[in-house]
Structure 1
Amino acid sequence: MARASALLVWVAVYLLQVALALPTLGPTVKLGNATVTGTKSGSVNKFLGIPYALPPTGDRRFRLPQSIPPYTSSFSATSFAPSCPQHALDLPLPEGLAADAVNFIANSIFAMVFPDSEDCLSLNVVVPANATPNSQLPVVAWIFGGGFELGSTSMYDGKIVVDRSISLGEPVIFVSMNYRVSGFGFLAGKEVKEAGVGNLGLQDQREALRWIQKYISAFGGDPTKVTIWGESAGAISVGLHMVANNGNSEGLFRGGFMESGSPIPVGDITNGQRYYDDIVSQTGCGGTADTLECLRTVPYSTLKAVVNKSPGIFSYQSLNLAWMPRVDGVFLAENPQVLVQQGKVANIPFVTGDCDDEGTLFALSTLNITTDAQLRSYIKTYWMPGASDEVLDELMDLYPDDILSGSPYDTLILNALTPQYKRIASFFGDAVFQAPRRFFLQQRSGEHDTWAFLNKRMKLLPALGATHTTDLLNIFGKGELLDYLIRFVVNLNPNGNPLTTYQWPKYSNDQPQMMTFSDGLIPLTIENDDFREDGINFMMRVTLSNPL
């Protein structure tokens, strides 16, 4: 009897050891003829690093994304894939050995945390664990920011969004996609225009949206209920998808949600010719008959090193980006704001908003500007080379040398890092963020259901205030904006039960009301979108006629 009991114990232990040695099977989904295995994380399932297009390597470098063939081989989707090639960080620090050391360390750490590769066109799908192919859940497609130079899907946890949607009783599916950035995604020049391969990063995003249409049903999503959502460059991307193909959404999305970004005024893709010429020269392609074809043969490490020498988002020219969307005649037929004026906009409801102090982060690179004359020269050189003296006079008057009126706003004499810092920050914030947002809302008033917001949280952040990206804490930090986002994705209206939800009024030219998120005892208020009216009206007018 004792021997039998001992044998049973031994068998039980052996079977337990075998079970522990076997790989744990995660959730699966069928894509074509392939079984894709993900991971379970509490109430959600994650499927990470799924390729959505062929690798843009070799001869496919600097070409439009090519659709991935039907999946035939099963694979594991349990970890993020590499990000696309990242532009080197160039932090706005005083020149010298210390600055060089800090930038080296920052780039090294960034590369370790977010490894990149030219083979990078992947996406991630996070779904409620109980979703089935028949669930038909709404889908939110996240487009990350980073100045069209940086960014990775691995920086953002879609589980936060899906978990909260489940708690609200309005479950959604979260999708995020990697897309080409920097010189790999936004190469410019006449050669690029002639080849029809401009705005490749936006084209990648579009390809990911097509993938969603084809495959999201397998995860339990409804391809007719996709909302595109982004922050910063991601939000600008959302706006550009709305005007791409002259406003034809191709049925890829039914709503837009923009944080710190709207359709911006940009000029022809040949405006970036100098950056193309620099790369061609530095890679040894200058003497070839077809320089673009030559660039496809340059070793990846060599090309990336050359691209990294171009100005980054924290360089002196700041938000006048070397690598950004431009009019290419394919994806963007015209200056996006002209397309908006012409009504060539996807007919969908949208939400758009900004942070109160959008420009402070980017003004750190211009701390050497301390006089009126230096600021005037800077704007003329980098922002408005075609502007007349009268226009520059008006700009300087509307954005005066007064630290009480500069950004961070409402901080009196505090945060004036230089005599011109708060003034420059106000100019940057209005020119690139507030003016395009207000222009978009005013132009589309009465044509769409629209909602606007202003984030004033973190105003006490030294020197920066409610700076660019602080609104992300109101989403991924599980703030109220996350609930409004989820309800918008589900119902195309951010509002919930009026008995339990602070109501967010629609925006119109007659009543330009916006939800304001603030710190303190009264976190939510409704305010009019009429601050700095003269200055922003000027910015809307002058940036439209002086696109970057």
Structure 2
Amino acid sequence: MLLSPTFSILLLQAASSLAIPGSVVKRADPVVQLDDTTVTGIANGTVNQFLGIPFAQPPVGSLRFQLPRPLPSYNESFPATAYGPVCPQQAFNLTIPSDLPAETQEVLEVMNSGSTRTISEDCLSLNVIAPANASVGSKHPVIVWIFGGGFEAGDPAATDGSVIVNKSIDLGVPVVYVSINYRTKVLITLAFGFLAGKEVQEAGIGNLGLQDQRLALKWIQRYIGQFGGDPSKVTIWGESAGAISVALQMVTNSGNAEGLFRAAFMQSGSPIPVGDIAHGQVYYDSLVNQTGCSNSSDTLKCLRGVPYDTLMDAVNNTPNIFSYQSLSLAWLPRVDGIFLTDDPQQLVLQGSVADVPFVTGDCNDEGTIFSFANLNVTTDDEFLTYIQMYYTPGASVDEVKQILDLYPQDPADGSPFNTSDQNALTPQSKRLAAFQGDAIFQGPRRSFLQQRAGKQETWSFCNKQSKALPYLGSYHGSDMESIWGDGAMSDYFLRFVTNLDPNGNTSINWPRYTLDSPNMLTLLDGSIPLQITQDDYRVEAMRGVSGLMLKYPL
């Protein structure tokens, strides 16, 4: 997700870690052979875990801000018994109002927290979790999890893939789970993974975080069979920035997936409206100035040699996802001419999309979390200025004024949606939440589906659970438990991974999304948790904001 795992997921994992199993005979630790190397994992109940396996040369020293380089081969045995270090993370700084209800504060505090694990630039590793009886030749479908965190933070250890594998075993559709680490803000969104500017483009090193992911997918093709996985049955899956990453893996390389995956599953993320890598020049220049590289004839070379702490201090002085500009991120994927040859949404219009079945869906109130960063926007004029400055800087005032009409100031029209005039922190907060959620999540999802429905098999969903949570509603990330927590969508997810169709011994039939019938599996609170609804809400508003941002991408 754009943020760290949700409060409910953390509680779920804490509970599972405290569970005391019955009389369980300790199995011998599993081993796999990679090239000439024996790798030892952990026997954990009904699964085997292989953690912290390096998949690329460490991106340190002269390899900092360079394309990831594969390991030539494995030639020395090692234990794979602990997650590798977290990639460098940018610090969040959300100011949480003290008068919020306790349940709302708890969610925001979890979102605002960073990883407490060891952080290192030497972080390009992955983790494999497989059924205990899996072996070479098992040919189980493979799930590849790409974490979220706003391209600024994230940790594959934050979610326990054993939950997914054990659920698949219970359903009789065993899978192999892989989670990958990649450079975000400092690793994927930060400077380390998403450095931008003309210097970056000239060096051909844009979108390093996405390149890291691609290399990990190639590693899986080469080695996953040793763990019992089938390299021809890979589904890439992510939430928030992870889901956006999945979408961008679909549109790169002229839509040629290179056999790296056969399906995709996206939670709160689709092809987003981003423009040329030069749009990030101001942030590159800021790093150069703050690290003492401004007088260098080769600023990129200088940045590669800057001490880690100095570089991190400079990165932490740039805007993050909880800064005033919020979802108009400083460090994010941009058009670099190599990995992304055009705005991702333009690539979709051009038909540059991997021809694989996919699922994409959102939470009903995607923007509420991010409206806390701009609570000082309280008037129509301030709203207009904010949108023009951070979301559509090239647009005229008259063009941006369309947004005023499409997203009325009336709190009853804002997000959390369908909560009347309640949940308004300021006169503009619900309006901003509605706009930001549609501009970055809901609008791109609908546009993606409408372009691809009929050309490939597609499904969509909408999470409306947690609607009663004050000021947040069905917030960004609130759908995580629906899969990770053995929730309403977990069976559908695993059926999709196995059969390329989410249906089969599931509670209600989930129809495909078509132009004639834009069906959505809708997750609800209460005694009836699932319902099929239509993707026909805020049509004019989403069309207007999507058109404007396609014309003026971030």
Q: Same fold (TM over 0.5)?
A: yes
Residue by residue over 1:283-340, the C-alpha shift from the partner in whole angstroms, topping out at 9 and shown as x without a partner, is: 1111111110111111111111111110000000000000100000010010111110
Does residue 523 of structure 2 align to residue 517 of structure 1?
yes
In the TM superposition, structure 1's runs of 4+ consecutive aligned residues that sit over 6 Å from their partners are 105-109
Deviates more, 1:50-59 or 1:392-401: 392-401
Residue by residue over 1:162-221, the C-alpha shift from the partner in whole angstroms, topping out at 9 and shown as x without a partner, is: 000000000000000010011100000000000000000000000100000000000011
Pairwise CA distance, 1:390: 2.5
Partner of 2:254: 246
Partner of 1:130: 133
Q: Quick one: distance in 2 between partners of 1:153 and 1:374?
A: 39
Residue by residue over 1:237-266, the C-alpha shift from the partner in whole angstroms, topping out at 9 and shown as x without a partner, is: 000000111111111000000000000111
Q: Is the 8 A contact 2:94 2:112 kept in 1?
A: no
Partner of 1:86: 89
Partner of 2:184: 181
Does residue 114 of structure 2 align to residue 110 of structure 1?
yes
Name structure 2 gaps, 5 residues minimum: 1-25, 99-105, 186-190
Does residue 235 of structure 2 align to residue 227 of structure 1?
yes
Counterpart amino acid of residue 160 in structure 1: V
Q: Quick one: distance in 2 between partners of 1:480 and 1:502?
A: 11
Counterpart amino acid of residue 440 in structure 1: F
Does residue 174 of structure 2 align to residue 171 of structure 1?
yes
Q: Quick one: distance in 2 between partners of 1:59 and 1:211?
A: 23
Task: Find the residue that maps to 1:526 and give its secondary structure.
Answer: strand
Partner of 1:451: 459
Task: Find the residue that maps to 2:114 and give its secondary structure.
Answer: helix
Q: What are the equivalent positions in structure 2 for 1:31-70 lying under 5 Å apart? A: 31-70=34-73
Query: What number of residue pairs does the alignment pair up?
Result: 515
Q: Is the 8 A contact 1:93 1:365 kept in 2?
A: no
Q: Is the 8 A contact 2:29 2:43 kept in 1?
A: yes
**TM score, norm. by length of structure 2:** 0.91
Pairwise CA distance, 1:110: 3.3
Does residue 206 of structure 2 align to residue 198 of structure 1?
yes
Q: Is the 8 A contact 2:40 2:50 kept in 1?
A: yes
Does residue 511 of structure 2 align to residue 505 of structure 1?
yes
**TM score, norm. by length of structure 1:** 0.92
Pairwise CA distance, 1:347: 0.5
Q: What are the equivalent positions in structure 2 for 1:416-431 lying under 5 Å apart? A: 416-431=424-439
Partner of 2:442: 434
Pairwise CA distance, 1:389: 2.7
User: Does the C-alpha gap of structure 1 residues 424 and 331 become closer, same or farther in structure 2, counting only changes over 3 Å?
Assistant: same
Q: Quick one: distance in 2 between partners of 1:224 and 1:328?
A: 29
Pairwise CA distance, 1:426: 0.2
User: Does the C-alpha gap of structure 1 residues 107 and 302 become closer, same or farther in structure 2, counting only changes over 3 Å?
Assistant: farther
Q: 1:287 aligns with which of 290, 295, 299?
A: 295
Q: Quick one: distance in 2 between partners of 1:94 and 1:302?
A: 31
Q: Quick one: distance in 2 between partners of 1:454 and 1:259?
A: 10
Pairwise CA distance, 1:441: 0.2
Counterpart amino acid of residue 508 in structure 1: T
Q: Is the 8 A contact 2:366 2:474 kept in 1?
A: yes
Q: Quick one: distance in 2 between partners of 1:337 and 1:106?
A: 32
Counterpart amino acid of residue 146 in structure 2: I
Q: 1:493 aligns with which of 497, 501, 505?
A: 501
Q: What are the equivalent positions in structure 2 for 1:381-420 lying under 5 Å apart? A: 381-420=389-428
Q: Between Structure 1 and Structure 2, whose CA radius of gyration is higher?
A: 1
Same amino acid, percent of matched pairs: 58
Q: 1:158 aligns with which of 147, 150, 161?
A: 161
Name structure 1 gaps, 5 residues minimum: 1-22, 96-101
Q: Quick one: distance in 1 between partners of 2:164 and 2:233?
A: 16
Counterpart amino acid of residue 222 in structure 1: D
Q: What are the equivalent positions in structure 2 for 1:249-288 lying under 5 Å apart? A: 249-288=257-296
Q: Quick one: distance in 2 between partners of 1:545 and 1:328?
A: 18
Q: Quick one: distance in 2 between partners of 1:384 and 1:53?
A: 38
Q: Is the 8 A contact 1:114 1:154 kept in 2?
A: no
Q: Is the 8 A contact 2:414 2:430 kept in 1?
A: yes
Q: Quick one: distance in 2 between partners of 1:433 and 1:107?
A: 18
Task: Find the residue that maps to 1:202 and give its secondary structure.
Answer: helix
